[in-house]
Structure 1
């Protein structure tokens, strides 16, 4: 995007213009003394338009700009991983008061940049970083994925459903092999095995968060191997997984945002990750003068920040006892009776190694 090229190449004064010229305007919000401060949202891999994580986070971002009176902009790059430190330093040099970074791979560089720009506040999503002016935001994605795995394992035996075949095979496709993505995969497999130890779960990585063609290819391969439900944890690449499910008359499971309506009847459910709520919460805290610098904030099932959709288009295909079981498992996780394995804190389980 032209905006990104300006960020990378322009002198500091021009960079400031680039960051503020496209800012959404807002008025009338009670900003707790922060109205007019400059905020930037660093968009993660896959970019805006992914119909998933980035788009959902941007919804919350726009909402909180409107309610607080902060001046906001977005920062995108086709190489958001490789150019991360350069982009963050540009934001610091431009005097951005609050930088909210959605790209988990920036967890190491954001701490260094934040130390060099102590007058700015920084937020890293899906990772932890150090610094009194850095807040870290983590989600318990493994909890929502556990419920999706349990649902898929129960549904794959429901052969009265025309989208289901006789084989007890599921699939899950990650955007990259990393702890941030693998916590989804491990949670899904754990949930599936908890209700049916005999179910097989195929795994693959697209190594791209914005390649629907690759997602479609991988999902088609899984359907050909007997899978009837494939979970996509790959941002915009997941659009291809949903398309493959629609073409094959099978199911996809969406991620981050509610993707059930993308292919009604072929998206069994979506694993919600309310990035919109998290962005809105941390920016609102900043505006109120209570920025959680130096802290890690966690959003999970208990906070209603992860979970499954309401099966708007598939409820009639799912047995009532299956839906009851999912509610039972959800309550057990919230109560602490079930603790879902988290690869970030617990490492990788033996069964996942070599997947």
Structure 2
């Protein structure tokens, strides 16, 4: 799917569209010397030990900063939904803020609670469970902060120009991120039967937000071929309602403001510290954790081969054997995973998920 993604801001403020030599994807930047898109594995984390946001935020402070910014810009603030989506029979858990509004609001059968709206939605995903504790950035539970606009036929709210401008203003004016270090990478999105063009917003090697312009739905068998577009191997047709579907990583932004070796240290420290004491985990050289995290950010750990390769690279960088590295970092990785999984279970049980040893 090719679509012109030159927004008003890119045109008026001198952004340059480049093609990343490593992944081949197009991205927008203000920095004429920049070559790569800013996304791992094309770039490493550049904020470990030197935070990319000048002020340190807690989860509560960052969430409030985001919601009040969008409220100031005319968005109705909406309370989080439960992580158990009783309004849907096709998914077991809420994995993104847009799921709160699929399918009824997007189809137009139900009104949104506000339009446009802003929300911070706890989301649970087990797709990356093997990465949790290891890469420093993956969670099974995380909060997706979002602003959504539902453009019903004949009732437009806003679209790509305004979405990009709001994101850029929030990051640079509110959080004081450096404009020349932000990139907008073009990468179409698909999920839950909908699809559309999208920007990944990247900063110092970390994806901090995704801005999706949902305008297609799965094509029916008898669809008019002139209407059909293909995205990620699936066929879609245009929707009557066009939805601005954004997701900003609350934990990732807090991490960016702390520059700790992992996001777990930044947001789950209150659980991790006592766990380390209780388990008698030995303190290790912070440099080992930092290098481990910097390199782990470049990987998706899908099997033991990936993990072994990561260990070899880190060990080489810090000048120790793979065995010594494994012995040092493994207890940390397990404690990070325990803290994350416990938080996910707490939310699930509180929102009415009943544990069972049959079916899902």
Normalised to the residue count of structure 1, the TM-score between the two structures is: 0.26
User: Greater relative contact order (Cα 8 A, min sep 6): structure 1 or 2?
Assistant: 2
Q: Which structure dedicates a bigger proportion of its chain to helix?
A: 1
Q: Which structure dedicates a bigger proportion of its chain to strand?
A: 2
